Structure 1
Amino acid sequence: MNYFNFPIEDYTNNFVDNWLLPNTAEFFDKISDFLRAFINMVTDFLLFIPAEVIVVLVILVAWKVSGKGLALFALIGGFYVGAVDLWDESIQTVAIVIVSTAISVLFGIPIGVLTALNKTADRIVRPLLDFMQTLPSFVYLIPAILLFGLGSVPAVIATFVFATPPVVRMTSLGVKQAPEDVIEASRAFGSTRWQLLVKIQFPLAIPTIMAGVNQTMMLALSMAVIASMIGAPGLGDTVLTGISTVNIGLGLSGGLAIVVMAIILDRITQSIGKKS
């Protein structure tokens, strides 16, 4: 039965072909050029540093913030990535994760603070976050390819959309959960709304915000394999090549490297959040 026909496919294609691309192509090209230069700069910088130096720095940071166990794991993980000859691919993945996480945090924390302080903004943003979190991750790839082509730029854009909601939600939650007695005491001493936010609510929310940053980073890393389908370089491309060629060993090597990276990043950011 078909009592009502709504040709959303035709409407969407007409909108994209006749208005979106002709009117916004130059704008999105500029964004693409900027992001590509930024990603290449981060990648080139990380590749310029000797692998041994990066591994030692990661071990020292892991030891400092989490303890000897994670430091030992980072040492073993560094040897593993080098032994399977996936260092360059790992750096490319790290660069995409760093850039996408930085953009997510740059936009997510201010939006989270705004939704915590403004009920109208909260009512507007919450459905958008629900939409971003429930939409299948593969769907993000369609507009990313359409507007930014193939490569690392659409991967960063798709990852940004996919990974931003946690940091927005956790920032909003952290600011809202500031103890009421502390807030009242601050107001009693004459604090302005800005002082209350900067000196009381935001500092108390930092552990919760760091939990959101942690989740955002993990989601960004989880997009590595999916983003490889639109030309993103890195470990995801290694895993995808192993899948497409039925090369189990290659897929396993890349997958384990992603696991190593995920565990190290997860434990470090978790420990920073707890200490903060």
Structure 2
Amino acid sequence: MASCDFVPGILCKFPAISDQYIRDARKIIDDGFKGLVREYGHVIDAVTAPLQWFLNYLERLFTNSPWIVVLMIMLAIVYLGSRSLRITIGTAIGMLLIGMSGLWGDTMVTLAIVTVATLIAIVIGLPIGILMARSDRIQGVINPILDVMQTMPSFVYLIPVVVIFGIGKVPGLIAVVIYAVPPMIRLTNLGIRLVDKEVLEAADAFGSSPGQKLWNVQMPLALPTIMAGINQTIMMSLAMVVVASMVGVGGLGRNTLQAINNQFFTFGFLNGFALVAIAIIFDRTSQAFGKRLQKHSEVVHG
């Protein structure tokens, strides 16, 4: 390969845009964002106020309720979802170990954040996934956006969120939702599109309207795939909680970040164990529920 000493400068050094132009463009964009936030700050606060209230309410409910009541309700939900004694006993052991490690309160805060983030992701992702399944044009527009959302480093989500919403629980929650919603959208779209065409033709033959066909045929058959989307949304929410702790989200994520900053190995390991235990509980329960839905669907339509 030729050395730059013997090659014309334009071929040796990439002709980049002038630093002055880049600085001017950055200043215009940054000032525009700041001006937008100052101008519509009250509107942003009003829009995010219900999220703040709901998250604070759920945190207080989880942390102030007697631990035995929370544990019993959690075990009942796990058993009803999975119908597996093995998963239910594993959940009980995991939560008891978390409590004995002194991390019960922080775990409840994390559960509240993940619960709210998952509910918001479902509310946003389900309609968008349905629209994508019903229109190839909408799918062609949304797919590149989802590609960007899923390939962008998680830390990058924090930049626009902090600029627009500031520091606190709600900005962290919004970052978690943005990071976690793509699987919900993609798998809802996929599940509806995978419904057997013969079943749809039979529904048309019975005179079903598009709405009746969607809610009575496509959605029930797509439920196992949609449940897989919910499963992935929960997993990604838990993964993002640690990153979102940088902007004010509490719970296990904040503890893990503190352990990293202070090089507390044992403290970090315990918080990591709690996050892994919660992830396994959610994963096993939602997977078991999805398999039950799949078997039910095969029995009804097979």
Q: Calculate the TM-score normalised by the size of structure 1.
A: 0.95
Q: Which position in structure 2 is the counterpart of 1:215?
A: 232
SS at match of 1:232: coil
Contact kept, 8 Å, 2:33 with 2:164, in 1: the verdict is no
Q: Which position in structure 2 is the counterpart of 1:16?
A: 33
Tell me the amino acid that sits aligned with residue 53 of structure 1: V
Tell me the amino acid that sits aligned with residue 234 of structure 1: G
Name the Cα RMSD after superposition: 1.4
Of 15, 23, 28 in structure 1, the residue corresponding to residue 44 of structure 2 is 28
Contact kept, 8 Å, 1:101 with 1:216, in 2: the verdict is yes
Could you list the runs of 4 or more consecutive aligned residues of structure 1 that deviate by over 6 angstroms after TM superposition? none
Contact kept, 8 Å, 1:115 with 1:121, in 2: the verdict is yes
Q: Which position in structure 2 is the counterpart of 1:37?
A: 53
Q: Which position in structure 1 is the counterpart of 2:96?
A: 79
Moved more, 157-166 or 222-231: 222-231
* Shift, 1:17, TM fit: 2.7
State yes or no: 1:4 paired with 2:17: yes
Q: Which position in structure 1 is the counterpart of 2:145?
A: 128
Deviations 1:210-255 (A, max 9, x none): 1001100110011111111111100011111111111111101111
Deviations 1:182-223 (A, max 9, x none): 111111111111111111111110110010011001100111
Q: Matches of residues 149-188 of structure 1 in structure 2 within 5 Å? A: 149-188=166-205
Tell me the amino acid that sits aligned with residue 44 of structure 1: R
Q: Give, in whole Å, the separation in 2 of the partners of 1:267 and 1:239.
A: 24
State yes or no: 1:202 paired with 2:219: yes
Structure 1 unpaired stretches of 5+: none
Structure 2 unpaired stretches of 5+: 1-12, 294-302
Tell me the amino acid that sits aligned with residue 133 of structure 2: A
Q: Which position in structure 1 is the counterpart of 2:7?
A: none
Moved more, 37-46 or 162-171: 37-46
Of 71, 76, 97 in structure 2, the residue corresponding to residue 55 of structure 1 is 71
Tell me the amino acid that sits aligned with residue 170 of structure 2: V
Q: Give, in whole Å, the separation in 2 of the partners of 1:142 and 1:34.
A: 23
Q: Give, in whole Å, the separation in 2 of the partners of 1:104 and 1:185.
A: 33
Q: Which position in structure 1 is the counterpart of 2:62?
A: 46
Deviations 1:89-136 (A, max 9, x none): 001101110111111100100000000001221111111111111111
Of 161, 185, 189 in structure 2, the residue corresponding to residue 144 of structure 1 is 161
Deviations 1:27-72 (A, max 9, x none): 2111232211110011111123211122222223333424122122
Tell me the amino acid that sits aligned with residue 233 of structure 1: G
SS at match of 2:113: helix
Contact kept, 8 Å, 2:34 with 2:163, in 1: the verdict is no
Which protein is bigger by CA-based radius of gyration?
2
Tell me the amino acid that sits aligned with residue 242 of structure 2: V
Q: Give, in whole Å, the separation in 2 of the partners of 1:16 and 1:61.
A: 44
Q: Give, in whole Å, the separation in 2 of the partners of 1:206 and 1:253.
A: 35
Contact kept, 8 Å, 1:100 with 1:160, in 2: the verdict is yes
Contact kept, 8 Å, 2:121 with 2:177, in 1: the verdict is yes
Q: Matches of residues 221-232 of structure 1 in structure 2 within 5 Å? A: 221-232=238-249
SS at match of 1:233: coil
Contact kept, 8 Å, 1:151 with 1:233, in 2: the verdict is no
Of 273, 276, 288 in structure 2, the residue corresponding to residue 259 of structure 1 is 276
Q: Give, in whole Å, the separation in 1 of the partners of 2:242 and 2:157.
A: 14
Moved more, 73-82 or 108-117: 73-82
Q: Calculate the TM-score normalised by the size of structure 2.
A: 0.87
Q: Give, in whole Å, the separation in 2 of the partners of 1:132 and 1:204.
A: 28
Q: Give, in whole Å, the separation in 2 of the partners of 1:240 and 1:164.
A: 24
* Shift, 1:3, TM fit: 4.5
Q: Give, in whole Å, the separation in 2 of the partners of 1:82 and 1:102.
A: 26
Q: Give, in whole Å, the separation in 1 of the partners of 2:264 and 2:16.
A: 49
